[in-house]
Amino acid sequence: MSLVNIATRRLLLHAKNALPAFGAGVRNASESTDLREVLARQIPEKQKEVKEFRKECGSKVIGEIQVDMLYGGMRGMKGLVTETSVLDPNEGIRFRGYSLPECQKLLPKAPGGSEPLPEGLFWLLVTGDIPTDAQVKAISQEWNERAAVPYHVVQMLNNFPDSLHPMSQFSAAISAMNSESKFAEAYAQGVNKTTYWEYTYEDSMNLIAKLPTVAAIIYRNLYKDGKVSPISMDMDWSGNFSQMLGYDNDMFTELMRLYLTIHSDHEGGNVSAHTVHLVGSALSDPYLSFAAGMNGLAGPLHGLANQEVLVWLTKLREQVGDNVSDENMREFIWSTLKSGQVVPGYGHAVLRKTDPRYECQREFALKHLPDDPMFKLVSQIYKLVPDILLEQGKAQNPWPNVDAHSGVLLQYYGMTEMNYYTVLFGVSRALGTLASLIWDRAFGLPLERPKSMSTEGLKKLVGR
Ligand code: CMX
């Protein structure tokens, strides 16, 4: 049985960061390094803005709903407010208005590193401001201080059978951590609803801080010796995570910083984000809300696709061998489609171009692993799959998404356990979904309850 030593040890790691170079139009409204304080100042202003907007425009019509949308997974139906990010079908994700390349350029980096620190992205998602180096460092420290995982959760994880999928372990552990929920405790004591955001904030910060340790316990229990190294107080969130996973490699840590940044948020309608928002609207605490989102992320059409891609690539290599010709690869892709399966990592419900999250992972690979055989295979697939999907004529978007590339980078650094990949996605997704949940409670959004209809009722409604 592994014991997580939550005592901390100090490592002399980080020299003082240089301040990031801010370009024109970059917002950084506050000097304070206390995120809670910055948020507390913003919330009344935003509440006022929304109140006035709703008073003036609350009854304006913003779209029409067609029958097909009800049967078609509500595609294109505008039905949610999410402040943290917006997805453009052609351009991809913008976090608080900043594109992915802009975030890569503007967000603070670790000393000597070139990838953004996810702590900075979290600050941006919560506040809308690009943080300073000092603000990011304060978040790293706060998360390190909040990282202790309750012993009953460690015990529970240690007792799970190896056959239980890592995502089931992850979600169960997150639910079980609601023993720590400040929100649930405050609600039970009958606190005023205007203060809900404060407890949601505390729970969110605690949960994000604990996730790397939970994820590392799962990894070390399933695939290694069950021992997890302790948190180092002077390390950043990704540095600690890499170390706890057992990867003593600066480039793996850099990959984690990039990975945990780019998987964080994809506006509000995707399954994981929407689920966290929906369950949170019942005032289930942030642990329960986020665990529900993780059960959605574990679906093969959503986050589990990163596992499916590696399973599919492995099958391809087994069946057609290495150095596969374009012709043989085309045949393999067609055989996948003809057997009624999807090509994992391709297509998207909103995107209509190559996902910028795919592109930045490809750039990482071109820089650090240009000769890796799996990377070459993924590049060859990228050349062939879009034309085949277009020829088949079904997929609205034949281009690759984030999941088509992530596993290849992980396997290069030795993380070959593909069943585990979605857990990494989940750790990152906490940043976006919990930033949104804090604002949901700050805005006092109500219980979510859209109207559903029967086919019979719909027919009557359209006069048929
Ligand atoms: N391979 C084969 N067929 C595909 C396909 C793909 N990659 N992408 C879409 N299609 C098919 C759909 O299955 C659907 O077929 P039917 O009409 O027989 O039902 C048809 O094309 C139309 O689908 P669509 O409107 O283009 O796509 P949806 O919005 O319904 O679904 C998605 C989007 C992502 C579920 C789909 O593209 C898919 O299954 N992709 C593979 C799985 C994947 O990579 N998921 C990860 C997405 C990113 C993430 O959330 O992590």
Burial of 38 (0-12, 13-18, 19+ CB in 10 A): buried
Tokens of residue 18, six digits? 């240089």
pLDDT at 25: 58
Does residue 406 have its Cβ closer than 6 Å to ligand 1?
A: no
pLDDT at 321: 85
Residue 377 lies in a domain: yes
Residue position matching structure tokens 């000393």: 111
pLDDT at 322: 81
Same domain as 109, residue 8: no
Task: Write out pLDDT tens, residues 300-333.
Answer: 999 999 999 999 999 999 998 888 999 999 999 9
Residue-level length of the chain:
464
The whole model's pTM is what? 0.94
Whether the Cβ atoms of residue 304 and residue 222 lie closer than 8 Å to each other: no
**14 an active-site residue?**
no
What is the chain's Cα-based Rg? 22
Sheet holding 98-99, edge to edge: 85-88, 92-95, 98-99
Does residue 296 have its Cβ closer than 6 Å to ligand 1?
A: no
More confident: 8 or 22: 22
Q: How many CB atoms lie within 10 A of CB 384?
A: 15
Residue 9 main-chain phi, psi, to 5 deg:
-130, 145
Measuring CA to CA, how many Å separate 332 from each of 6, 171, 328, 390, 417? 48, 34, 6, 16, 23
Spell out a b/e string for 52-73, using b for 16 or more CB atoms within 10 Å of the CB, else e.
eeeeeeeeeeeeeeeeeeeeee
Task: Write out pLDDT tens, residues 230-267.
Answer: 999 999 999 999 999 999 999 999 999 999 999 999 99
Does residue 297 have its Cβ closer than 6 Å to ligand 1?
A: no
> What's the rounded Cα separation, in Å, for the pair 233 and 7?
10
Query: In what helix (H) or strand (E) does residue 86 lie, and over which residues does it extend?
Result: strand 85-88
Output helix, strand, coil percentages for the chain, rounded to the nearest 5: 60, 5, 40
**pLDDT average, residue stretch 285-312:** 98
> What's the rounded Cα separation, in Å, for the pair 416 and 413?
8
Distance 321 CA to ligand 1 centre (A): 27
Which of 404, 400, 357, 369 is CA-nearest to residue 259?
357
Residue 67 lies in a domain: no
Q: At residue 292, does pLDDT exceed 70?
A: yes
Distance 93 CA to ligand 1 centre (A): 19
> What's the rounded Cα separation, in Å, for the pair 33 and 132?
9
**274 an active-site residue?**
no
Q: At residue 13, does pLDDT exceed 50?
A: no
Same domain as 329, residue 200: yes
Of 13-17, 58-62, 187-191, 201-205, which gets the smallest average pLDDT? 13-17
Residue 200 lies in a domain: yes
Distance 396 CA to ligand 1 centre (A): 8
Same domain as 191, residue 51: no
Q: What is the percentage of the chain residues whose pLDDT exceeds 70?
A: 94
Q: At residue 211, does pLDDT exceed 50?
A: yes
**pLDDT average, residue stretch 398-425:** 98
Does residue 390 have its Cβ closer than 6 Å to ligand 1?
A: no
pLDDT at 23: 42
Whether the Cβ atoms of residue 246 and residue 224 lie closer than 8 Å to each other: yes
Residue 71 lies in a domain: no
Same domain as 131, residue 7: no
Spell out a b/e string for 227-236, using b for 16 or more CB atoms within 10 Å of the CB, else e.
ebbbbbbbbb
Q: At residue 20, does pLDDT exceed 60?
A: no
Confidence of residue 161 (pLDDT cuts 50, 70, 90): very high
Whether the Cβ atoms of residue 212 and residue 431 lie closer than 8 Å to each other: no
- The CATH code of the domain that includes 195 is 1.10.580.10
To test the ligand 1 pocket, which listed residue (264, 301, 351, 378) has its Cβ within 8 A of the most ligand atoms? 301
> What's the rounded Cα separation, in Å, for the pair 83 and 440?
9
Task: Write out pLDDT tens, residues 217-231.
Answer: 999 999 999 999 999
Same domain as 245, residue 116: yes
- For atom 39 of ligand 1, which residue has the closest CA? 301
Does residue 347 have its Cβ closer than 6 Å to ligand 1?
A: yes
Same domain as 106, residue 9: no
Q: Which domain holds residue 10?
A: 1-18+37-57
Residue 26 lies in a domain: no
Same domain as 141, residue 53: no
Q: How many domains does the chain have?
A: 2
Tokens of residue 180, six digits? 């720590």
